[in-house]
């Protein structure tokens, strides 16, 4: 699988907010709204397309990769680059997660040399947690919102 990074545009953003995941991953479904599209267009999100120019996923860095409530618990106080990502539901569970995430990590590592990479994952998502551990992330902090329990994981150089 070959992936390419594209700047986010309105068509890609509208496609992403319309994605529907199967249970229990429907937790990651977006609310289709102008606000959701606007966030994807704020400059911190990038689209990933495959060799057929099909939208394979996206990633973001910075504050948009954080769960806002986590700030109240101090889980984002250490100096790190936050990473968020999403894979097109058409490709989820098909064995391309490691390659997909590795591609994103290489990009972030090249652009933020020496800075630890942090991500936040819902604790029920054991499939993702297992993948992140294989990629070198270690469990760090946990916190809870009204809707779910989360954990931060950090990959250090």
Q: 67-112 pLDDT, tens per residue?
A: 999 999 999 999 999 999 999 999 998 889 999 999 999 999 999 9
Question: DSSP strand E in the chain: where?
Answer: 3-7, 45-50, 55-61, 81-87, 117-122, 138-144, 149-155
DSSP-assigned beta bridge partners for residue 149: 144
DSSP character for 147? Answer: S
89 vs 93: CA distance, rounded Å: 8
The structural domain count of the chain equals 1
Residues 11-62 pLDDT 10s? 999 999 999 999 998 989 888 889 999 999 999 999 999 988 999 999 999 9
157, pLDDT greater than 90:
no
| Strand, coil or helix: 38 | helix
In angstroms, rounded to a whole number, what is the distance separating the alpha carbons of residues 61 and 118? Answer: 10
**pLDDT computed for residue 84 by the predictor:** 97
Residue 1: the pLDDT is: 78
pTM for this one? 0.93
Q: Which residues pair with 58 in a beta bridge?
A: 47, 86
Distance CA 16, CA 40 (A): 9
Domain housing 87: 3-155
Three-state DSSP class for residue 53: coil
Cα–Cα distance between 50 and 4 in angstroms, integer? 6
CATH number at residue 119: 3.40.630.30
The helix/strand count (H/E) of the chain reads as 4, 7
């Amino acid at each position: 699988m070959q992936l390419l990074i594209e700047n986010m545009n309105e068509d890609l953003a509208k496609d992403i907010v319309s994605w529907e995941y199967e249970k229990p991953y429907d937790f990651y479904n977006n609310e289709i709204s102008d606000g959701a599209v606007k966030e994807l267009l704020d400059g911190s999100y990038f689209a990933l397309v495959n060799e057929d120019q099909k939208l394979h996923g996206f990633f973001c860095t910075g504050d948009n990769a954080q769960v806002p409530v986590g700030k109240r618990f101090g889980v984002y106080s250490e100096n790190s680059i936050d990473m968020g990502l999403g894979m097109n539901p058409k490709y989820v569970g098909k064995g391309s997660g490691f390659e997909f995430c590795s591609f994103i990590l290489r990009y972030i590592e090249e652009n933020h040399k020496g800075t630890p990479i942090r991500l936040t994952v819902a604790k029920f998502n054991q499939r993702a947690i297992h993948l992140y551990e294989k990629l070198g992330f270690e469990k760090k902090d946990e916190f809870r919102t009204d809707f779910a329990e989360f954990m931060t994981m950090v990959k250090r150089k």
